[in-house]
Amino acid sequence: MAMRRVPFYLHDLGAPEVEALARVIEGPILSTGAQVADFEDRFARYLGGGHAVGLTSCTGGLQLALTALGIGPGDEVITTPQTFIATANAIVQAGATPVFADVEPETGNLSVAATAAAIGPRTRAILPVHLYGQMVDMKGFRALADRHQLALVEDSAHCVEGVRDGVRPGQLSDAAAFSFYATKNLSCGEGGAVLARDAEVARKLKVMRSHGMDRVAADRFKGGFSHWDMVQFGWKYNMNNLQAAMLLPQLERIEASTARRAAVWGMYETALSGVPGLDGPRTLEGVTHAHHIRAVWVAPEARDRVIKSLGDQGVDAAVHYRAVHLLSWFRETYKLAEGAFPAAEAIGARTITLPFYQRLSGEDVEHVAGALARAVQPAG
C-alpha cells in the first residue's frame, strides 16, 4: 500500500491569481502602480482602517516602521525570543539594539510583565509578535507603551485575520507589519505590508520604500517627463503590481479561506485529543485565532526523534521556533546565554509544527495525528 504523504505546505492559488497576473502583464506598469494602490486600500479596509503600504517583505516593513518612528542607533527595542529571526534582525537593520524579554509559557507570546521588567533608560519601542496567529495582549502593551512613552510596532506576519478583545492588528500600535511570504495565510511568494494609523507615517513609509524619491515611475508615466528629487534616505522595498495582483483575489475570498482554516484547525483539535501526553499552545479567552501555525509540544528529549519519525511516516514537520537568543550570532553578538528566557527556551526545545493549510483533508489530518501518536510512543 502506498503511504499517504502530507507535505508541510501547499498554497491554494490558482485560476484567479493567474488571471490577475495576466492582466498586469497585458498592461504597461509592472512595478508599483494601480494594483498596489488598490491592494493597499482594500487591505486597510479589511483590517478596519488605517493606511497600508505595500512592500517586498515584512522584515523590510518592520525595519522601515522603526526607522520612520525615529528609532535607530543607541536605541533599544524590546522583543520576543520566541519568533522567526526576522523580528530581531529588523531591529538590528534599523540600527537599534534588540533586547529580549520572556514569553507566556501557555501561549508563547511576549509577556507584558516581562516586557515591563526589561524597560531601561534606552528603551524606545516594543515589538511583539502574534505567535502562530494568536494576538498578544495589545491593550496591555498599549498601556505599557503609553506609560513609558514608547513606540509600539506589531510583527503581524502570522496574523491578518485575528482579533483579541475586539482589537485587530494595527489598531492600537504605531505600525503593524504583515508578510506575504510563500507559506503565509495570504501569499504572493514574497511580499509584505505595513499598516500605520497615522497618515504621515504612511506617507513617510511610501517615500522610504522607494529610495527616498518624491515620485515613482508610475507617477512619471502618467504626467509626462518631470524630474524627481530624493528628499530623504530610503531603501528599495516597494511592492510591485504583480505581487499586488496575486493578493487581491485572495483578499476577496478571505472569509471563505478563514472559515476553511478554522475547520481544519477544528479537525486537528479532535484528532490530536486522542494522542496521549501531547501539549500545545493554549488559545486564550477573547481571542479569534488567525490559524497560521499548528504547533504541538512534546518532551524536549523526544522532539527531534518525533520529527524524524513523522518524516518516515510521510508527514513533513518543522520547528517554529528555537529561541532566537540561543542562535550563534545573537548569542555571540549580545552575550546571551542559555537560561536567560526559560519559557521561550522550553517552547523552543519542545515545539513541532504540523502541516497546516486550507487544502488539508480530513484524511490528511487523521494521518498526521496517527503518525504523531505512533511517533510519541514508539514502543506502543
Ligand X SMILES: *Cc1c(COP(=O)(O)O)cnc(C)c1O
DSSP 3-state of 213: strand
Min dist CB 41 to ligand X, Å, is 21
Closest CA to 294 of 322, 262, 326, 324: 262
Examine residue 132 and tell whether it contacts ligand X (CB under 6 A).
no
Residues forming a β-bridge with 351: 297
Among 80-88, 94-102, 116-124, 353-361, the segment contacting ligand X (CB under 6 A): 80-88
d(CA 221, CA 26): 16
59 vs 111, which CB is nearer to ligand X?
59
Burial level of 233, CB count in 10 A (0-12/13-18/19+)? exposed
Min dist CB 72 to ligand X, Å, is 20
* Interface pattern 91-130 for ligand X (x via CB under 6 A): --------------------------------------x-
Examine residue 237 and tell whether it contacts ligand X (CB under 6 A).
no
Examine residue 357 and tell whether it contacts ligand X (CB under 6 A).
no
Min dist CB 321 to ligand X, Å, is 8
Sequence letter at residue 87:
T
**Residues within window 39-78 making contact with ligand X, judged by CB under 6 A:** 57-59
Examine residue 240 and tell whether it contacts ligand X (CB under 6 A).
no
Min dist CB 324 to ligand X, Å, is 10
Min dist CB 124 to ligand X, Å, is 20
**Residues within window 170-229 making contact with ligand X, judged by CB under 6 A:** 179, 181, 192
Min dist CB 103 to ligand X, Å, is 13
Number of CB atoms found within 10 A of residue 23's CB: 11
b/e burial code for range 72-102 (CB count within 10 A of at least 16 → b):
eeebbbbbbbbbbebbbbbbbbbebbbbbbb
Burial level of 310, CB count in 10 A (0-12/13-18/19+)? buried
**Residues within window 261-300 making contact with ligand X, judged by CB under 6 A:** none
57 vs 243, which CB is nearer to ligand X?
57
50 vs 192, which CB is nearer to ligand X?
192
86 vs 365, which CB is nearer to ligand X?
86
Examine residue 83 and tell whether it contacts ligand X (CB under 6 A).
yes
222 is catalytic: no
Nearest 5°: CA angle at 273, between 272 and 279? Answer: 75
**Residues within window 150-179 making contact with ligand X, judged by CB under 6 A:** 155, 157-158, 179
Question: Which residues lie closer than 8 Å to 224 by C-beta, 6 or more apart?
Answer: none
46 vs 178, which CB is nearer to ligand X?
178
The H or E element containing residue 155 is strand 151-155
Among 83-91, 214-222, 228-236, 310-318, the segment contacting ligand X (CB under 6 A): 83-91
Examine residue 348 and tell whether it contacts ligand X (CB under 6 A).
no
Judge if the upstream peptide bond of residue 321 is cis by omega within 30 degrees of 0: yes
Question: Which residues lie closer than 8 Å to 222 by C-beta, 6 or more apart?
Answer: none
Angle subtended by helix axes 254-272 and 362-376, to nearest 10: 40
Q: DSSP label at 320?
A: S
d(CA 125, CA 121): 12
Min dist CB 2 to ligand X, Å, is 33
Examine residue 86 and tell whether it contacts ligand X (CB under 6 A).
yes
21 vs 86, which CB is nearer to ligand X?
86
**Residues contacting ligand X: total by CB under 6 A:** 14
Number of CB atoms found within 10 A of residue 329's CB: 12
Examine residue 80 and tell whether it contacts ligand X (CB under 6 A).
no
Active-site residues, by number, are: 184
Give contact residues for ligand X (rule: CB under 6 A): 57-59, 83-84, 86-87, 129, 155, 157-158, 179, 181, 192
